[in-house]
């Protein structure tokens, strides 16, 4: 949970926010209230960990018998798939609850917000996959 909850969002902040390349919506919302982006990392990480935990339990990704490379990859990908589906549902649900009356085809700002949320989703999935795969390979003794 530490890797999915702290390391992955912190890497997103280090690579994108600190360099001025891109600021995710979850970081924008926290900094808009006057808080630092450092407080946004564990808050967003809690959501990512909440998505990863059911996936890892369902795929038995924490089992001690996953020292076979093929089985380790299968369990990582299964857990990642479940976590990705849960994250997609939570992302779209948050858009629906905040902008349920908006037509994304005609409203430019709403469409732009949905594109930001989708890009944040892709960033989260990619960084979670990289961080958790490296951690799991390290834990299994492949690295």
List, for the chain, all residue ranges whose pLDDT scores fall below the cut of 50: none
pLDDT value at residue 49: 86
Interhelix angle 108-140/37-59, rounded to 10 degrees, is: 60
- For residue 65, what are its two tokens? 């018998």
pLDDT value of position 105: 59
Contact 41, 9 (CB under 8 A): yes
Tens digits of residue pLDDT in 6-27: 888 888 888 888 888 888 888 8
pLDDT at 67: 65
| pLDDT, position 1 | 65
pLDDT at 101: 65
- Considering Cα of 109, then 114, then 119, then 120, what sign does the dihedral take? positive
> Could you tell me the two tokens for 102?
């908006």
- Position 104 scores a pLDDT of 59
């Amino acid at each position: 949970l530490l890797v999915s909850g702290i390391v992955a969002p912190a890497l997103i902040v280090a690579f994108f926010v600190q360099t001025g390349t891109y600021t995710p919506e979850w970081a924008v919302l926290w900094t808009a209230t006057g808080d630092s982006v450092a407080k946004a990392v564990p808050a967003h990480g809690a959501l990512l960990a909440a998505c990863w935990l059911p996936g890892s339990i369902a795929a038995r990704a924490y089992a001690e018998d996953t020292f076979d490379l093929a089985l380790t990859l299968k369990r990582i990908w299964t857990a990642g798939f479940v976590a990705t589906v849960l994250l997609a549902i939570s992302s779209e649900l948050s858009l629906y609850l905040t902008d349920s009356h908006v037509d994304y085809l005609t409203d430019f700002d709403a469409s732009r917000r949905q594109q930001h949320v989708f890009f944040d989703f892709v960033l989260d999935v990619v960084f979670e996959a990289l961080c958790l795969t490296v951690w799991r390979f390290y834990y299994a003794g492949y690295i």
